Amino acid sequence: MGIWIPVVFTAMLFVLIAYFINQENAKYLLAGYNTMSEEARSKFDIVGYLKFFKRFFYQLAGFSTLIFCGAYLLWDERDALIIWAIAITLPLFYLLYKGQQFKKN
């Protein structure tokens, strides 16, 4: 049962991140955006990015938990955790790639 604690905690953390990040606090909480100059921020589509960001983290919470559940049923706990860790890590590269598309030229 203890194996579920980090999975549930991480999923709840992802949901809370998605829920609480908004346009008003993004300049304090979003890495990269918080270090941009005002000029650079004006060239960044923060509204579109936040829509993508929130959807991404809600989906990451749900799908990673489902992947862990499936892996837990098919394999042992150790393998399920490894698969779950990969399921969390790989989408982050997509977040980095897709986030670049919100810069306005």
Separation between Cα atoms, residue 51 and residue 58, nearest integer Å:
11
Residue 105's pLDDT band (cuts 50, 70, 90): low
Query: What angle do helix axes 77-99 and 4-20 make, rounded to 10 degrees?
Result: 20
Separation between Cα atoms, residue 47 and residue 79, nearest integer Å:
39
In eight-state DSSP terms, residue 30 is S
pLDDT tens per residue across span 55-87: 999 999 999 999 999 999 999 999 999 999 999
| Burial classification of residue 27, based on how many CB atoms lie within 10 Å of its CB (0-12 exposed, 13-18 middle, 19 or more buried) | middle
Query: Is the pTM above the cut of 0.85?
Result: yes
